[in-house]
Amino acid sequence: MRTGVVRPDVVRPDVVRPDVVRPYGDTTGDGMVQVSFTLPVPHDKRAEGAALQLASKMGLEPALLVHAKAMGPDFTFFVVYGSVRHLVDLREVTVVEREFPLLTPSEVNKAIRSRLRRKLVVVGACIGTDAHTVGIDAILNIKGFAGEKGLEYYRELKVVNLGAQVLVPELVSRARSERADVVMVSQVVTQKDAHLQNTAVMSAAFREAYPAGEVPLLVVGGPRFEEGSAGRLGVDRVFGRGTTPAEVASYLVHALVDGKEQEQP
Ligand code: B12
C-alpha cells in the first residue's frame, strides 16, 4: 500500500489528462455535484418534493435530498446531491492572466523610491452601508493575508484606512486632503447589485471632483467582482476573491511607477 501525503499543487507529468471532463463524486466521471438553495415554502414533504423537482429541472438526475432545514416558518434550506450529464471542455476555458509581474516588498519599495522619489499615498475604505472590513484590512493592515504583510508594511507606501460605511463625499474629501495617488474601495455586500451601484457612484464622484487626468487611480475589490469588469464600472482595476497584498502592491508599481523616469543620482 502506498502511503504519504498527496500534494495537490504538484502536477504529475506522467499522467495523461483528458480535455473533456465531468464532475467526480464516487467514481471518475460520474457527474456528481452538490447544490444548496432556499425555497420560499414551509418545511414539509411538499417542500422536499419541490426541491427534487427543481433539481431535476436543473439536470440533476438522479438527485438525492441530503439536507432540508426550516429557515423560520416560511422558508426551507436544501442540499441536493445528484448527477449531471454536462461535459466540461477545458479547451474552451478562458483565463484572465495577471498583466504585471509579482514583486517582493523590497522590489516595490525600491521602484517607488527610485522612480517616484516620494511616498505613494493610498486611501482606502468600505463605502455605502457595507461594514465588511476584513477584506480591505487584509490588503491594507500590516498583519496582511495568506502569509503576506499588508500595504502598511511597505516603507514607501503611506496608507490611510478610513474603515467601514464611509460616505463617498467623505472619501473624496479625504483623498484630496491626503493627495492620494490611489483610492481603494471594498464592496462585499452584493444584494441588489449594491457593489456595482456604489462603485459607479464613487467613480462618478471622483471624476466630477478632480480635473480630467488628475483623478487618483481607482481600485475596487470584493469577493463577487467579475474579473475584467473595471472598464464597465468606471474604475482602473478590480480585485476579486483571494487577492493578496503583494498582488495589489505590484499592480500599483505597474500602474503608477513603471514608465516614470529613473531618479538622477
Ligand atoms: C465576517 C462577516 C460579517 C461580519 C463583518 C465583520 C467585519 N468587520 O468585516 C458581520 C457580522 C458584521 C457581518 C454583517 C453582515 N453580513 Co456578513 N459576512 C461575513 C462573512 C462570514 C465573512 C466575510 C469575510 O470577512 N471574508 C474574509 C475576507 C478576507 O474575504 P473578502 O472580504 O472576500 O476579501 C478578500 C477579497 O475579496 C479582496 N478584497 C476585498 N475587498 C477589497 C478591496 C480592495 C481595494 C482590494 C484590492 C481587494 C479586496 O481581498 C481580500 C483578501 O483576499 C461572509 C460570508 C463568507 N464566508 O464570505 C458574510 C457575508 C458577506 N455577509 C452577508 C450579509 C448578508 C451580512 C448582513 C447584511 C447580515 C444581516 N442581515 O445583518 C450584515 C451586513 C452588515 C453591513 N452593514 O455590511 C452576506 C452577503 C450576501 C450578499 N450577496 O451580499 C455574506 C456573503 C453571508 C451570506 N452567505 O449570506 N458579516
Specify if 132 maps to a domain.
yes
User: What mean pLDDT value characterizes the chain?
Assistant: 93
Give the ligand 1 atom nearest the CA of 244: 53
Specify if 14 maps to a domain.
no
Last residue of a domain, one of 89, 114, 147: 89
- Do residues 153 and 250 both lie within one domain? yes
- From CA 226, how far away is CA 196, in angstroms rounded? 10
* CA of 223 relative to ligand 1 center, distance in Å: 8
Cβ–ligand 1 distance for 77 under 6 Å, the answer: no
Give the ligand 1 atom nearest the CA of 219: 45
Cβ–ligand 1 distance for 188 under 6 Å, the answer: yes
What is the sign of the dihedral through the CA atoms of 156, 162, 164 and 166? Answer: negative
Cβ–ligand 1 distance for 36 under 6 Å, the answer: no
- From CA 226, how far away is CA 190, in angstroms rounded? 12
- Do residues 26 and 80 both lie within one domain? yes
Cβ–ligand 1 distance for 145 under 6 Å, the answer: yes
pTM of the full structure: 0.88
Model confidence band, residue 5 (pLDDT cutoffs 50, 70, 90): low
97: pLDDT strictly greater than 50: yes
Specify if 100 maps to a domain.
no
- Do residues 183 and 110 both lie within one domain? yes
Kindly state the average pLDDT of the residues 22-37: 95
Q: How many domains does the chain have?
A: 2
Query: How many CA atoms lie within 13 Å of 111's alpha carbon, on the beta-carbon side?
Result: 22
- From CA 248, how far away is CA 185, in angstroms rounded? 13
- From CA 143, how far away is CA 153, in angstroms rounded? 8
Question: Which residue reads 521602484 in cell numbers?
Answer: 111
CB 258 within 8 A of CB 111: yes
Specify if 6 maps to a domain.
no
Q: Residue 71 belongs to what domain range? A: 20-89
Please confirm, yes or no, whether 158 is among the known catalytic residues. no
Helix 194-209, helix 168-177: angle, nearest 10:
40
Last residue of a domain, one of 89, 120, 150: 89
Specify if 8 maps to a domain.
no
Q: What is the predicted pLDDT for the residue at 32? A: 97
| Max CA distance (Å), the chain | 79
Specify if 178 maps to a domain.
yes
Cβ–ligand 1 distance for 239 under 6 Å, the answer: yes
Residue of 45, 57, 143, 158 marked active site: 143
Model confidence band, residue 263 (pLDDT cutoffs 50, 70, 90): very low
Specify if 264 maps to a domain.
no
Q: What is the CATH number of the domain that holds 34?
A: 3.30.30.60
* CA of 108 relative to ligand 1 center, distance in Å: 29
- Do residues 170 and 212 both lie within one domain? yes
Q: What is the CATH number of the domain that holds 120?
A: 3.40.50.280
Sheet hosting strand 32-39, strand order edge to edge: 32-39, 75-83, 63-71
